[in-house]
Amino acid sequence: MDLDFTEDEIRRYSRHILLREVGGTGQAKLKAARVLVVGAGGLGSPLVLYLAAAGVGTIGIVDDDVVELSNLQRQIAHTTASIGTPKTASAAAAAYAINPGVTIEPHASRLTAANAMELISRYDIVCDGTDNFATRFLVADAAVLARRTLVSGAVLRFDGQLSVFRPHLGGPCYRCLYPEPPPPGLVPSCSEAGVLGAVTGVIGTLQATEVLKEIMDIGDTLAGRLLVWDALATRFRTVKLPRDPDCALCGPQATIRDLSAHAEAAASDGSPGQACGV
Ligand SMILES: [Zn+2]
Protein backbone atom coordinates (compact mmCIF):
# COMPACT_ATOMS: atom_id res chain seq x y z
CA MET A 1 0.00 0.00 0.00
CA ASP A 2 1.48 3.35 -1.08
CA LEU A 3 1.27 5.72 1.90
CA ASP A 4 3.17 8.47 0.12
CA PHE A 5 0.86 11.51 0.25
CA THR A 6 1.68 15.01 -0.97
CA GLU A 7 1.40 17.98 1.38
CA ASP A 8 -1.82 18.98 -0.37
CA GLU A 9 -3.31 15.50 0.05
CA ILE A 10 -2.46 15.41 3.74
CA ARG A 11 -4.19 18.78 4.18
CA ARG A 12 -7.19 17.83 1.99
CA TYR A 13 -7.81 14.53 3.79
CA SER A 14 -6.69 15.63 7.28
CA ARG A 15 -10.15 15.10 8.83
CA HIS A 16 -10.14 11.55 7.48
CA ILE A 17 -6.58 10.81 8.53
CA LEU A 18 -7.41 12.00 12.06
CA LEU A 19 -9.96 9.20 12.39
CA ARG A 20 -8.39 6.16 14.04
CA GLU A 21 -10.48 3.84 11.82
CA VAL A 22 -9.27 5.58 8.64
CA GLY A 23 -5.77 7.02 9.11
CA GLY A 24 -3.21 7.01 6.33
CA THR A 25 -3.89 3.35 5.57
CA GLY A 26 -7.61 3.90 5.01
CA GLN A 27 -6.96 6.97 2.90
CA ALA A 28 -4.51 4.98 0.76
CA LYS A 29 -7.18 2.27 0.30
CA LEU A 30 -9.62 4.94 -0.90
CA LYS A 31 -7.02 6.27 -3.35
CA ALA A 32 -6.44 2.79 -4.79
CA ALA A 33 -10.16 1.95 -5.07
CA ARG A 34 -12.24 1.80 -8.26
CA VAL A 35 -15.99 2.37 -7.87
CA LEU A 36 -18.67 2.29 -10.59
CA VAL A 37 -21.80 4.43 -10.16
CA VAL A 38 -24.69 3.36 -12.40
CA GLY A 39 -26.98 6.34 -12.96
CA ALA A 40 -25.90 9.97 -12.46
CA GLY A 41 -29.25 11.07 -11.07
CA GLY A 42 -30.70 11.70 -7.62
CA LEU A 43 -28.71 8.90 -5.95
CA GLY A 44 -25.70 9.08 -8.26
CA SER A 45 -25.19 12.81 -7.69
CA PRO A 46 -24.35 12.73 -3.96
CA LEU A 47 -22.57 9.41 -4.50
CA VAL A 48 -20.18 10.79 -7.10
CA LEU A 49 -19.62 14.04 -5.21
CA TYR A 50 -18.89 12.39 -1.84
CA LEU A 51 -16.73 9.63 -3.35
CA ALA A 52 -14.70 12.27 -5.21
CA ALA A 53 -14.46 14.48 -2.11
CA ALA A 54 -13.32 11.47 -0.07
CA GLY A 55 -10.49 10.76 -2.50
CA VAL A 56 -11.74 7.51 -4.08
CA GLY A 57 -9.09 7.22 -6.78
CA THR A 58 -11.15 6.12 -9.78
CA ILE A 59 -14.89 6.66 -10.19
CA GLY A 60 -16.77 5.35 -13.23
CA ILE A 61 -20.12 6.90 -14.11
CA VAL A 62 -22.60 5.15 -16.44
CA ASP A 63 -25.50 7.18 -17.81
CA ASP A 64 -26.75 7.93 -21.31
CA ASP A 65 -29.13 10.75 -20.39
CA VAL A 66 -28.76 14.49 -20.77
CA VAL A 67 -29.59 16.93 -17.98
CA GLU A 68 -33.21 18.15 -17.97
CA LEU A 69 -34.85 20.95 -16.01
CA SER A 70 -36.99 18.45 -14.07
CA ASN A 71 -33.81 16.73 -12.78
CA LEU A 72 -32.51 19.73 -10.87
CA GLN A 73 -34.92 19.45 -7.91
CA ARG A 74 -32.77 16.53 -6.65
CA GLN A 75 -29.79 15.75 -8.95
CA ILE A 76 -27.33 18.10 -7.26
CA ALA A 77 -24.30 17.22 -9.40
CA HIS A 78 -25.97 19.10 -12.27
CA THR A 79 -26.68 22.80 -12.68
CA THR A 80 -29.10 24.96 -14.64
CA ALA A 81 -26.22 25.79 -16.99
CA SER A 82 -25.68 22.09 -17.76
CA ILE A 83 -29.22 21.46 -19.08
CA GLY A 84 -28.93 19.63 -22.40
CA THR A 85 -25.42 18.29 -21.75
CA PRO A 86 -24.63 14.63 -20.98
CA LYS A 87 -25.07 13.78 -17.31
CA THR A 88 -21.73 11.95 -17.29
CA ALA A 89 -19.92 15.13 -18.39
CA SER A 90 -21.85 17.32 -15.98
CA ALA A 91 -21.24 14.99 -13.02
CA ALA A 92 -17.55 14.62 -13.95
CA ALA A 93 -17.13 18.42 -14.05
CA ALA A 94 -18.78 18.76 -10.62
CA ALA A 95 -16.55 16.03 -9.16
CA TYR A 96 -13.36 17.53 -10.62
CA ALA A 97 -14.34 20.96 -9.28
CA ILE A 98 -14.33 19.44 -5.79
CA ASN A 99 -11.27 17.22 -6.20
CA PRO A 100 -8.99 17.37 -9.26
CA GLY A 101 -6.89 14.60 -7.71
CA VAL A 102 -9.32 11.78 -8.59
CA THR A 103 -9.96 10.18 -11.99
CA ILE A 104 -13.51 10.15 -13.36
CA GLU A 105 -14.26 7.62 -16.10
CA PRO A 106 -17.46 8.69 -17.90
CA HIS A 107 -19.39 5.99 -19.78
CA ALA A 108 -22.06 7.90 -21.69
CA SER A 109 -23.93 4.80 -22.80
CA ARG A 110 -26.67 2.52 -21.59
CA LEU A 111 -25.77 -0.37 -19.36
CA THR A 112 -26.85 -3.42 -21.38
CA ALA A 113 -26.53 -7.19 -21.22
CA ALA A 114 -23.78 -6.81 -23.83
CA ASN A 115 -21.53 -4.43 -21.87
CA ALA A 116 -22.46 -4.92 -18.19
CA MET A 117 -20.01 -7.73 -17.35
CA GLU A 118 -17.05 -6.06 -19.00
CA LEU A 119 -17.82 -2.69 -17.41
CA ILE A 120 -18.57 -3.93 -13.88
CA SER A 121 -15.54 -6.26 -13.88
CA ARG A 122 -13.27 -3.21 -14.26
CA TYR A 123 -14.31 -1.89 -10.82
CA ASP A 124 -14.13 -3.17 -7.22
CA ILE A 125 -17.56 -1.98 -6.10
CA VAL A 126 -20.70 -1.10 -8.07
CA CYS A 127 -23.41 1.30 -6.88
CA ASP A 128 -26.96 1.09 -8.14
CA GLY A 129 -28.53 4.51 -8.59
CA THR A 130 -31.07 3.62 -11.27
CA ASP A 131 -34.83 3.94 -11.14
CA ASN A 132 -36.05 1.14 -13.36
CA PHE A 133 -36.26 -2.56 -12.58
CA ALA A 134 -34.74 -3.74 -15.87
CA THR A 135 -31.42 -2.02 -15.10
CA ARG A 136 -31.66 -2.77 -11.37
CA PHE A 137 -31.83 -6.54 -12.01
CA LEU A 138 -29.17 -6.30 -14.73
CA VAL A 139 -26.76 -4.60 -12.29
CA ALA A 140 -27.64 -7.08 -9.52
CA ASP A 141 -27.05 -10.13 -11.75
CA ALA A 142 -23.84 -8.78 -13.29
CA ALA A 143 -22.43 -7.87 -9.85
CA VAL A 144 -22.94 -11.44 -8.56
CA LEU A 145 -21.60 -13.05 -11.74
CA ALA A 146 -18.53 -10.75 -11.64
CA ARG A 147 -18.15 -11.28 -7.86
CA ARG A 148 -18.35 -7.56 -7.13
CA THR A 149 -19.87 -5.88 -4.06
CA LEU A 150 -23.12 -4.04 -4.87
CA VAL A 151 -24.20 -1.05 -2.79
CA SER A 152 -27.87 -0.65 -3.60
CA GLY A 153 -30.13 2.32 -2.88
CA ALA A 154 -33.71 3.03 -3.88
CA VAL A 155 -36.16 5.87 -3.27
CA LEU A 156 -39.79 6.63 -4.02
CA ARG A 157 -41.95 9.50 -2.77
CA PHE A 158 -40.86 9.89 0.90
CA ASP A 159 -39.30 6.44 1.35
CA GLY A 160 -35.80 5.09 0.96
CA GLN A 161 -34.06 1.71 1.12
CA LEU A 162 -30.42 0.74 1.33
CA SER A 163 -28.42 -2.48 1.45
CA VAL A 164 -25.11 -4.06 0.51
CA PHE A 165 -25.04 -7.31 -1.47
CA ARG A 166 -21.83 -9.35 -1.64
CA PRO A 167 -22.67 -13.06 -1.64
CA HIS A 168 -19.08 -13.88 -2.69
CA LEU A 169 -18.10 -12.73 0.84
CA GLY A 170 -21.24 -14.11 2.51
CA GLY A 171 -24.77 -12.77 2.88
CA PRO A 172 -27.64 -12.53 0.43
CA CYS A 173 -27.82 -11.12 -3.10
CA TYR A 174 -30.47 -8.75 -4.46
CA ARG A 175 -32.50 -11.69 -5.83
CA CYS A 176 -32.60 -13.32 -2.38
CA LEU A 177 -34.70 -10.24 -1.49
CA TYR A 178 -36.51 -9.76 -4.81
CA PRO A 179 -36.44 -12.99 -6.86
CA GLU A 180 -38.07 -11.42 -9.94
CA PRO A 181 -38.88 -7.92 -11.20
CA PRO A 182 -42.47 -6.87 -10.43
CA PRO A 183 -44.94 -6.98 -13.33
CA PRO A 184 -44.68 -3.83 -15.49
CA GLY A 185 -46.83 -1.02 -14.09
CA LEU A 186 -47.24 -2.49 -10.58
CA VAL A 187 -44.59 -0.31 -8.92
CA PRO A 188 -44.59 3.31 -10.12
CA SER A 189 -41.34 5.12 -10.92
CA CYS A 190 -40.26 8.47 -9.49
CA SER A 191 -41.30 10.12 -12.75
CA GLU A 192 -44.82 8.74 -12.19
CA ALA A 193 -45.20 8.97 -8.40
CA GLY A 194 -42.74 11.73 -7.47
CA VAL A 195 -39.95 11.88 -4.91
CA LEU A 196 -38.89 14.47 -2.34
CA GLY A 197 -35.50 15.66 -3.60
CA ALA A 198 -33.70 15.55 -0.25
CA VAL A 199 -34.72 11.89 0.21
CA THR A 200 -32.51 10.92 -2.77
CA GLY A 201 -29.70 12.98 -1.22
CA VAL A 202 -29.90 11.10 2.09
CA ILE A 203 -30.00 7.64 0.52
CA GLY A 204 -27.24 8.52 -1.98
CA THR A 205 -25.09 9.85 0.85
CA LEU A 206 -25.74 6.70 2.90
CA GLN A 207 -24.69 4.68 -0.16
CA ALA A 208 -21.46 6.68 -0.37
CA THR A 209 -20.84 6.02 3.35
CA GLU A 210 -21.31 2.26 2.88
CA VAL A 211 -18.98 2.31 -0.16
CA LEU A 212 -16.25 4.00 1.91
CA LYS A 213 -16.77 1.46 4.73
CA GLU A 214 -16.55 -1.48 2.31
CA ILE A 215 -13.36 -0.11 0.71
CA MET A 216 -11.65 0.43 4.07
CA ASP A 217 -13.25 -2.64 5.70
CA ILE A 218 -14.32 -0.70 8.80
CA GLY A 219 -17.41 -0.88 11.01
CA ASP A 220 -20.31 -3.29 10.57
CA THR A 221 -21.19 -4.11 6.99
CA LEU A 222 -24.79 -3.57 5.88
CA ALA A 223 -24.60 -6.90 4.00
CA GLY A 224 -27.38 -9.13 5.36
CA ARG A 225 -29.44 -6.16 6.52
CA LEU A 226 -31.86 -3.78 4.80
CA LEU A 227 -32.22 -0.19 5.99
CA VAL A 228 -35.70 1.24 5.46
CA TRP A 229 -36.37 4.94 5.94
CA ASP A 230 -39.76 6.65 6.17
CA ALA A 231 -39.00 10.36 5.86
CA LEU A 232 -42.55 11.53 6.67
CA ALA A 233 -42.49 9.65 9.98
CA THR A 234 -38.73 10.27 10.46
CA ARG A 235 -38.24 6.59 11.18
CA PHE A 236 -35.29 4.36 10.28
CA ARG A 237 -35.64 0.59 10.60
CA THR A 238 -33.11 -2.15 9.90
CA VAL A 239 -34.40 -5.60 9.04
CA LYS A 240 -32.36 -8.78 8.69
CA LEU A 241 -31.99 -10.12 5.18
CA PRO A 242 -31.38 -13.86 5.13
CA ARG A 243 -29.81 -15.64 2.18
CA ASP A 244 -32.32 -17.64 0.13
CA PRO A 245 -30.93 -21.19 -0.20
CA ASP A 246 -33.07 -21.62 -3.35
CA CYS A 247 -31.92 -18.32 -4.92
CA ALA A 248 -31.68 -18.61 -8.71
CA LEU A 249 -28.67 -16.29 -8.74
CA CYS A 250 -26.48 -17.08 -5.72
CA GLY A 251 -27.88 -20.42 -4.46
CA PRO A 252 -26.19 -23.81 -4.93
CA GLN A 253 -28.74 -24.69 -7.66
CA ALA A 254 -28.42 -21.32 -9.41
CA THR A 255 -30.01 -21.18 -12.84
CA ILE A 256 -28.87 -17.65 -13.76
CA ARG A 257 -25.39 -18.21 -15.23
CA ASP A 258 -25.15 -15.25 -17.61
CA LEU A 259 -27.06 -12.15 -18.73
CA SER A 260 -28.76 -13.72 -21.74
CA ALA A 261 -32.27 -13.38 -20.21
CA HIS A 262 -31.73 -9.61 -20.02
CA ALA A 263 -30.72 -9.46 -23.68
CA GLU A 264 -33.85 -11.45 -24.65
CA ALA A 265 -36.14 -9.29 -22.47
CA ALA A 266 -34.72 -6.10 -23.96
CA ALA A 267 -35.17 -7.47 -27.48
CA SER A 268 -38.78 -8.53 -26.84
CA ASP A 269 -40.14 -5.47 -25.04
CA GLY A 270 -38.00 -2.91 -26.78
CA SER A 271 -36.64 -1.46 -23.54
CA PRO A 272 -32.86 -1.85 -23.57
CA GLY A 273 -32.57 -1.17 -19.85
CA GLN A 274 -31.76 2.50 -19.68
CA ALA A 275 -29.33 3.58 -17.01
CA CYS A 276 -31.50 6.52 -16.13
CA GLY A 277 -30.87 7.95 -12.69
CA VAL A 278 -33.57 8.39 -10.08
ZN1 LIG B 1 -29.29 -14.72 -3.88
User: What DSSP state is assigned to residue 80?
Assistant: G
Whole-number Å distance, alpha carbon 106 to ligand 1 midpoint, is: 30
Whole-number Å distance, alpha carbon 241 to ligand 1 midpoint, is: 11
Q: Are 125 and 35 in contact (CB under 8 A)?
A: yes
What is the C-alpha separation between 173 and 164, in angstroms, rounded? 8
Query: Among 55, 20, 92, 48, which Cα is nearest to 200's?
Result: 48
- Amino acid identity, residue 153? G
Query: Among 40, 247, 261, which Cα is nearest to 144's?
Result: 247
Whole-number Å distance, alpha carbon 67 to ligand 1 midpoint, is: 35
Whole-number Å distance, alpha carbon 77 to ligand 1 midpoint, is: 33
Identify the three-state secondary structure at position 251: coil
Q: What is the pLDDT of residues 17-45, one digit of tens each?
A: 999 999 999 999 999 999 999 999 999 99
Whole-number Å distance, alpha carbon 249 to ligand 1 midpoint, is: 5
Whole-number Å distance, alpha carbon 9 to ligand 1 midpoint, is: 40
What is the C-alpha separation between 264 and 215, in angstroms, rounded? 35
Q: What is the pLDDT of residues 128-155, one digit of tens each?
A: 999 889 999 999 999 999 999 999 999 9
Whole-number Å distance, alpha carbon 248 to ligand 1 midpoint, is: 7
Neighbouring residues of the ion ligand 1, judged by CB less than 5 Å: 173, 175-176, 247, 249-250
Q: What is the pLDDT along the chain (278 residues), one digit of tens a residue?
A: 777 899 999 999 999 999 999 999 999 999 999 999 999 999 999 999 999 999 999 999 999 999 999 999 999 999 999 999 999 999 999 999 999 999 999 999 999 999 999 999 999 999 999 988 999 999 999 999 999 999 999 999 999 999 999 999 999 999 999 999 988 878 888 778 899 999 999 999 999 999 999 999 999 999 999 999 999 999 999 999 999 999 999 999 999 999 999 998 887 765 544 334 56
Whole-number Å distance, alpha carbon 171 to ligand 1 midpoint, is: 8
Whole-number Å distance, alpha carbon 251 to ligand 1 midpoint, is: 6
Query: Among 223, 241, 247, which Cα is nearest to 170's?
Result: 223
pTM value is 0.95
With a CB cutoff of 8 Å and minimum separation 6, the contacts of 238 are 225, 226, 227, 228
